[in-house]
Chains A and B, each alone.
Chain A
């Protein structure tokens, strides 16, 4: 009961944060059309920067600056672009010159607009519709973007530390090195997440997924807090992929009892059963959908608020701005550290809860 209350509070908080962030964005959008005072310009610039930061990118840029000659310099390296558009097209993202140039590959022209690749002509014309959205054709894009690089890096890092940890058990019953810190976490996931939610009998087959998803989300959330500028979990595509795995595991491990509760809820009169069936069926999709949105919204909200607070420093151009901005950003960073772990925990917890409901055997009604 306590746990459900905590979850309710958390969901409410998440909702509140997202709503407030959206609300804060609306007046800016209205005023951005005017762009008269320099402060307004600065505000738009900060907003654009935040927006840009939240998006994926085709090259690995650590930071950029404008040198004395007025040139915009980028520090980083390009990544491969992989497109499927009348055949496979692979080229380096350096061809885009950080979105400033049109890339040509096998007689086709591509341009980057708002961090997306569009098909274009030799001049890089982008057509817009009335809502200022690009209407150019988009090729199927399987590029190794910055986020993909970090997913691979985190994967390799996890493989390295956990396989080393596994090897350390070969000659010693107690963990060694980094395993000393990781073992309590693994035991926590087993004893406090998997076993209570799934049950002693079935929990083993879900442990691999639960452990991987917990450490993956946690590590990648923590990386998002570093100045490397990566935000893997604030991409809806990433959280969708994670939630989809949870959904498929739940659906494929669902037993007779689980499906019976969905299509023909026992213990209620038959007209209710007919009404409940579509609701329950929808519920199976809504549950992983909420996982997807929760993780995405939390991390995105954290990044937006954190960067907005840092942006305050440039807006308040007086002595109070910097300490205030620094203090707030520091406090919020600490909170974000907690959120990084908390979101990993919640995702794992709820996944375990869904698996548990899928394999539950005896009837509670």
Chain B
């Protein structure tokens, strides 16, 4: 202890105290404060990032579930629509077939009627022509028959014979 007191140097104590306190204050300003702040900020940042990642994960899960549900609904809807369309198609085809059939029948009927009337007209015309032709022939025959006097007398005689009084 005696030795310790003898060894004690006031100068060294003075310098150590001054320099050390100055070092604490300088380091506080230039090093410890910025370092500790940076570390704290980083730690908070990490915590926040972890939290938001967790939130994002949950949201993602929700989103996936939603998507699945929507997909399912969409599929059901699509199926329903397809079914409806098929039914509609069937009914349209059936209807169209019926209508076409009716139309066709009608057209055929009309055609038949037209043909019939045309045929009657043609026959009538043919009859007229035949009558005319027969008259012309009869006239020509008469003319040739009545060209000489004998024949005329004969004809008159024949005719008179036929006439029975």
Contact = CB atoms under 8 A, between A and B. Distances in A.
Given A208-B28, A235-B9, 14 more contacts: A55-B7, A82-B11, A141-B9, A142-B15, A159-B30, A162-B31, A165-B35, A236-B4, A237-B8, A237-B12, A237-B13, A238-B16, A240-B13, A241-B20
Given A55-B7, A237-B12, A151 B39 contact: no
A164 to B, nearest CB: 9
Q: Which has the most chain A C-beta neighbours within 10 Å: B22, B27, B32?
A: B27
Contact of B31 (A143, A166, A174): A166
Contact of B17 (A82, A216, A245): A245
A118 B45 CA distance: 61
Nearest to B28: A208
Interface of A: 55-56, 82, 116, 133, 140-145, 147-148, 151-152, 155, 158-159, 162-163, 165-167, 169, 173-174, 183, 186-187, 190, 204, 207-209, 211-213, 216, 235-238, 240-242, 244-245
Contact of A145 (B12, B24, B27, B34): B12
21 contacts: A144-B15, A148-B19, A151-B15, A159-B23, A159-B26, A162-B35, A165-B35, A166-B30, A166-B38, A173-B45, A174-B42, A183-B39, A186-B36, A187-B39, A208-B28, A216-B20, A235-B9, A236-B8, A237-B12, A241-B20, A245-B20
Nearest to B14: A142
A204 B37 CA distance: 11
A55 to B, nearest CB: 7
Given A166-B35, A173-B38, A207-B32, A212 B11 contact: no
Given A158-B23, A162-B30, A148 B7 contact: no
B162 interface: no
Nearest to B42: A173
A238 B49 CA distance: 46
Contacts of B42: 173-174
A186 B12 CA distance: 28
Given A133-B6, A212-B27, A216-B20, A241 B32 contact: no
A75 B14 CA distance: 28
Contacts of A142: 10-11, 14-15
Contacts of A144: 15
Given A212-B23, A236-B4, A241 B17 contact: yes
Contacts of B31: 158-159, 162-163, 165-166
Nearest to A204: B36
SS class, residues of chain A in contact with chain B: helix
B12 A190 contact: no
Given A159-B26, A212-B24, A236 B7 contact: yes
Q: Which has the most chain A C-beta neighbours within 10 Å: B26, B31, B32, B34?
A: B31
Nearest to B18: A241
Contacts of A169: 34-35, 38
Contact of A151 (B4, B9, B16): B16
A162 B39 contact: no
A240 B7 CA distance: 13
A294 to B, nearest CB: 14
A152 B35 contact: no
B123 interface: no
Contacts of A56: 9, 12
Contacts of B142: none
B21 interface: yes
A216 B23 contact: yes
B19 A155 contact: yes
A142 B16 CA distance: 11
A118 to B, nearest CB: 12
Contacts of A237: 8-10, 12-13, 16
Contact of B27 (A158, A187, A235): A158
Contacts of A207: 32, 36
Given A152-B19, A173-B42, A241 B13 contact: yes
Nearest to A211: B32
Nearest to A140: B10
Q: Which has the most chain B C-beta neighbours within 10 Å: A155, A158, A212, A216?
A: A212
A250 B99 CA distance: 109
Contacts of B20: 151, 155, 212, 216, 241-242, 245
A231 B31 CA distance: 26
A351 to B, nearest CB: 12
Nearest to B24: A212
Contacts of B45: 173
Contact of A208 (B7, B13, B14, B32): B32
A235 B38 contact: no
B7 A235 contact: yes
Contacts of B27: 158-159, 162-163, 208, 211-212
